[in-house]
Every structure is written in C-alpha cells, then in structure tokens.
Amino acid sequence: MVIVMDLQATEDQIKSVKKRLEELGFKAHLIRGVERIVIGAIGDRKQMMASGIEVMPGVEKMVPIMKPFKLVSREAKSENTVIRIKDFDIGGEGIAVIAGPCAVEDREQLIETARLVKEAGAQAIRGGTYKPRTSPYSFQGMEEEGLELLAEAGVETGLATITEVVDEKSLDLAAGYVDIIQIGARNMQNFQLLRVAGRINKPVVLKRGLSATMEEWLMAAEYIMSEGNYNVILCERGIRTFETYTRNTLDLSAVPLIKQLSHLPVIVDPSHATGEWRLVAPLSKGAVAVGADGLLVEVHPNPMKALCDGPQSLTPDNFRQLMRELAEIAKAVGRTMNQGEKLI
C-alpha cells in the first residue's frame, strides 16, 4: 500500500503518519519525489484499510500496489529515480559510463586504465577485487589489496569507483573503499547479501541473474530497498539461452520494459553479455537507443595479457571511438553523454 501525502503536507504530518504506521506494525518507507511524497507501507492490507490512516491530516489518498514488488514499482514512485554519485547522475538526462578491467591485476594496470577511460569520458572506474569464477583454479582477485588500488585510482583521477562483492565480509570491507557496490549475477538471489546491502549508505548495482525473470530481478531489488537503501541501479548483463555463439544473450527488451515497471535506473553490461569485444560497440549503441541510463564496459590496456575476460575487453583506442559514436546515438534519442559536471 502507498500513502500519498498532500502537496501541502507539513513535515510534522508526514512524521505522524509514518509513526502511526510503525505503531500498527507496518514497515514504513518514506519516498520523496519531485512531484509528491509517498509513504510505502508493507503489511496487511485489510488492517491498513481499517486503520484510519486515510483520514489523518496531510494524507491525500491510499493506493494499493498490486504487483509483488512494492517499493521498486512505478506505482510507488511515478518519476524516475536519479542517483547522484560524486559529480554525475545515473537515471537523469545524461548517459553514465562505467569502464575498466574485469579484474584489478596490479597498480600500473589499474591507474593506466583509469586515466585512459577518464580522458575518453567515463565517470567511474570498475575493477573486480573478488572474482566469483566458474573454476576454482582461475584468478580469484586481489581482495583488499585490490580495493586499496581502486581507492587510489579514484583519488588520483576523480572517478567514482565500483567493485563486486560476494558475501557479507567482502561487502563490509569494500564499503570502506569504493563509491558503488556491485552485486553480480550469481548473487542476485543471495537474499542475505541483498539485505545487508540494503543497510549500507552506498549505491548498489544489481545485475540480473543468469536465468532470472524480470520479476525475480525486481524482487531482488525489493530486498535491498526494503532494508532502507533506495539507491539501487539495475544492470542487464545478458541471460543464459540455448545460443552458443555469444557468452550470454543480451536482452535489450528488458530496458524499456523494466523502465515501465520500475522507477529505478537501468544500465547495460554489453561486455559480459557477449564475451566478444567486437559486439560491445553495436550493443552499447543499441542499449542507449532503447533507453538505458548507462553502460558498464570492460576496458584493458592490453586485453591479450588480461588475467580474465580479455576477449571481451575493449582496447583504449576502441573505447575512445565508442564514446565518440555514443554521443551521436544519445543525441538522436534526446539524451546526452555525461562528462562529470558537464554534458556533451
């Protein structure tokens, strides 16, 4: 259920309604939009209807949410959520680009990549420090040493930083080093990890699971938001199908559909979706064309020597070319490419 507050409602009236909901045993979530303020109430609908909340001062109306995902839904918030990170937004007019290597390998590799992607127009540097790999013998990441290097790269370049976490311990550690937390496809339904991510004051990029339906993906985001963290960014990264020519099948239809169902920003990872660097550029353009709010692109100064996912990583030259081409696509669909404080 959503309690829609009157546009003239005072802060005291809003607090009174929230307090009354909590007294009745509901989990109350205050959602402030540009056009209206709503209070999402999670609990028994019949009890809500008999509670008298609707006649409290400052309340305009109560609206039931029929979908299983409540806080994530467009019914809870009709306008797009815009998440501010350092000097750029995700979910607004500009297209945000997060770029960097699949894994942090050493200081030289990461700092060089951070400088290169910054010059090309990216707003954030990505780098895996905990690597959930299919094989236990594959490179597993530098862990805290890698986090320290990410933090250094962020300070040196001014870029925001993001890394994937795999459990509660890595989440607690990473939260002290990076600006954005990523929960990968394999952990999309790690419900305990989602709950813990909901209790931190950091934006969370939530990747779609390997075989997850869109409803399952949104319900995973609901876990995070239900704990109080409303800064969730959804990431489409391809799903597992019968096709073998690509690593996964990138579901670009998910972008406009999810944006109909949810107010949360949606970004696309064309690198993991395809596993093939030659497909990254065309699918990046397609993602922007269908409404994605950003991209997560793998870039490595020397993909042939990458410790993981070299075949899907762009070289710096290829990334610069992609950024130039994306500016034209963004312009064609009435968007812009983020450039820190300015837009191009």
DSSP secondary structure, 25-57, as one string:
T-EEEEEE-SS-EEEEEES-HHHHHTS-GGGST
The residue among 320, 255, 264 whose CA lies nearest residue 287 is: 255
The residue among 191, 240, 231 whose CA lies nearest residue 212 is: 240
Helix (H, G, I), strand (E, B) or coil at 279: helix
Model confidence pLDDT, tens digit, residues 84-132:
999 999 999 999 999 999 999 999 999 999 999 999 999 999 999 987 7
CB atoms near residue 18 (< 10 Å): 18
Q: Report the distance separating Cα 116 and Cα 105, nearest Å.
A: 16
pLDDT at position 130: 87
Beta bridge partners of 267: 235, 294
Residue 343 has pLDDT above 50, yes or no: no
DSSP 129: S
Q: How confident is the model at residue 133 (pLDDT cuts 50, 70, 90)?
A: low
Q: For domain 2-63, which architecture applies? A: 2-Layer Sandwich (3.30)
CATH 3.20.20.70 is right for the domain spanning 83-343:
yes
Model confidence pLDDT, tens digit, residues 37-65:
888 888 777 787 788 898 999 998 888 88
Average pLDDT over residues 309-316: 93
Total-model pTM: 0.90
pLDDT at position 137: 63
Model confidence pLDDT, tens digit, residues 226-273:
999 999 999 999 999 999 999 999 999 999 999 999 999 999 999 999
b/e 273-298 (16+ beta carbons within 10 angstroms → b): bbbebebbbebbbbbbebbbbbbbbb
pLDDT at position 40: 86
The residue among 186, 267, 193 whose CA lies nearest residue 232 is: 267
Model confidence pLDDT, tens digit, residues 210-227:
999 999 999 999 999 999
Calculate the alpha carbon distances from 13 to 76, 146, 295 in Å. 19, 48, 41
Q: Say whether 83-343 and 2-63 share the same fold.
A: no
pLDDT at position 179: 98
pLDDT at position 188: 97
Q: Are the beta carbons of 317 and 112 closer than 8 angstroms?
A: no
The secondary element (H helix, E strand) that includes residue 205 is strand 204-207
Longest dimension (CA), the chain: 66
Cα angle 53, 57, 62; round to 5 = 40
Ordered by start, the domain boundaries in the chain are: 2-63, 83-343
Q: How confident is the model at residue 7 (pLDDT cuts 50, 70, 90)?
A: confident
Mean residue pLDDT across the chain: 92
